[in-house]
């Protein structure tokens, strides 16, 4: 039991992302235990998808300038109608 508790204590979990998953209706203690035990279930998948989305948004994945330039190159509906 002590080894299991020690493992849970050493498990690093992003508290903000954890709270987002809890808001989705998942149980905090079950989610925490599943994350630390590396169990794959709906709650942990939601957690990892949010983590991935968070880090892509904050790390400049593909670069924010690249993403902005993609929007500049995509014609808007108003421009498309005007061109016709």
pLDDT, one tens digit per residue, over 23-55 is: 999 999 999 999 999 999 999 999 999 999 888
Cα 23 to Cα 20: distance, rounded to the nearest angstrom:
5
What's residue 68's pLDDT?
A: 52
The confidence score (pLDDT) of residue 18 equals 96
Lowest mean pLDDT among 37-41, 56-60, 70-74: 70-74
Contacts 24+ apart (CB under 8 A), 69-73: none
Confidence bin at 79 (pLDDT 50/70/90): very low
Cα–Cα distances (Å) from 42 to 32, 77, 84, in that order, read 13, 38, 47
Q: In this predicted model, which residue has the larger pLDDT, 68 or 25?
A: 25
């Amino acid at each position: 039991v002590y080894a299991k508790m020690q493992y849970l204590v050493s498990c690093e979990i992003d508290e903000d992302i954890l709270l987002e998953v809890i808001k989705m209706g998942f149980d905090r203690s079950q989610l925490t235990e599943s994350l630390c035990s590396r169990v794959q279930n709906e709650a942990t998948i939601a957690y990892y998808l949010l983590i991935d989305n968070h880090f892509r948004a904050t790390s400049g994945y593909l670069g924010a300038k690249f993403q902005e330039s993609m929007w500049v190159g995509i014609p808007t509906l108003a421009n498309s109608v005007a061109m016709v």
